Amino acid sequence: MNVLSLFDGMSCGQIALNRIGIKPDKYFAAEIKKIAIKVTKHNFPDTIHTGDVTKVSFKDGMLYTESGDYEVGHIDLLCGGSPCQDLSGMNKKQVGLVGAKSSLFWEYARIKKEVNPTYFLLENVGSMPYRDAMEITKEMKVDGVRINSSLVSAQQRDRIYWTNIPGTGVNLFGGGQIEQPEDKRIMLKDILEHGFVKDNKSVALMRKYAIIIPKNNWVKYINKRYKKKFMQIVYEDPLFSEESARPFTQTEAERLQTVPEGYTSCLNYKQACDVLGDGWTIDVIAHIFKGLL
């Protein structure tokens, strides 16, 4: 199987394929973030990184990229999660697909037409405006499937997936049956290395941990800056004293995304939270990829 992954990040697509027993023959990854490339190479050294997605093109079996030209033949799977910053409901402006970052969706759409893959998967945030979801649906020519990672993990992570992989569902916006992953009933307390939590599921944006340096007054700091709404507080004290508050450990952050433990071990804490926050929940993608079997 030849795979072309756009906006590859830390190669969550590759992890998911391996999880269901598929080892790609060639895995091409369009990515420019250095720490994401670093962790991918650490775990999948055979990955062929192609550089900037805007410089990727495909014609007559040849893949043309910033890092070189490759005779591929056919691409069996095209996958990627285009940037969500301008689409997310957490962005007050929420300018959508015309935004500087989220407009990169059109690069995915362009490359999809050029490649004409056997299968494709596109992911983006569930809180996007209806108009943009409909625009993507029109362009992909399939309905989106809305899946919350809470079914397979200890976090709330609402996402939409557009794919032609068999058995993954039907209409998001007009009714129909959607094949959801089985609810594993994993709670936040189940993924902790130690400590206590007040909530059943996390609503944390792990990228926020890439900004914050944990300290003694950490809980007061995040209450002031984030008003708790984007953060999950873990306590070492069953009485939930502020003095015992802490963020997730690196291993816990990996568990939240159902990433193999130790996958980000080549990165420091901030870097790991950064790439994990950008990434996919592996068990959701593996659920979708099972249709490839």
DSSP for 216-250 reads: TTHHHHHHHHHTTTT---EESSTT--GGGEE---H
Residue spans of beta strands (DSSP E) within 56-181: 57-59, 62-65, 68-71, 77-81, 119-125, 144-148, 158-163
Task: Say if residues 115 and 3 touch (Cβ distance below 8 Å).
Answer: no
Rounded mean pLDDT of 87-92?
A: 72
With both helix axes pointing from N to C terminus, report the angle between 130-140 and 105-115 in degrees, rounded to the nearest 10.
Answer: 10
7 & 101 share domain: yes
pTM of the model: 0.92
With both helix axes pointing from N to C terminus, report the angle between 12-19 and 282-289 in degrees, rounded to the nearest 10.
Answer: 60
164 & 67 share domain: yes
Taking CA 187 as the corner, what is the angle to CA 184 and CA 191, rounded to the nearest 5 degrees?
105
Residue 36: CATH number of its domain: 3.40.50.150
Rounded mean pLDDT of 3-11?
A: 98
101 & 145 share domain: yes
Task: Say if residues 158 and 127 touch (Cβ distance below 8 Å).
Answer: yes
Q: What is the domain range of residue 242?
A: 188-272
164 & 204 share domain: no
29 & 133 share domain: yes
pLDDT digits (tens, 9 = 90+) for 167-184: 745 444 433 345 899 999
Task: Say if residues 161 and 147 touch (Cβ distance below 8 Å).
Answer: yes
158 & 207 share domain: no
Q: Which of 96, 78, 77 is nearest to 86 (CA)?
A: 96
231 & 246 share domain: yes
Query: What rounded mean pLDDT belongs to the chain?
Result: 89
200 & 157 share domain: no
For 6, residues 6+ apart whose C-beta sits below 8 A from its C-beta are 30, 53, 56, 78, 79, 80, 82, 107, 108, 111
pLDDT digits (tens, 9 = 90+) for 94-151: 777 887 788 899 999 999 999 999 999 999 988 888 998 999 999 999 999 999 999 9
Per the structure, how many domains does the chain have? 2
62-65, strands of its sheet edge to edge: 57-59, 62-65, 68-71
pLDDT digits (tens, 9 = 90+) for 235-290: 999 998 888 888 899 999 999 999 999 999 999 999 999 999 999 999 999 999 99
Rounded mean pLDDT of 211-230?
A: 64
211 & 85 share domain: no
197 & 180 share domain: no
End-to-end, the C-alpha distance of the chain in Å comes to 12
Task: Say if residues 17 and 79 touch (Cβ distance below 8 Å).
Answer: no
162 & 37 share domain: yes
12 & 103 share domain: yes
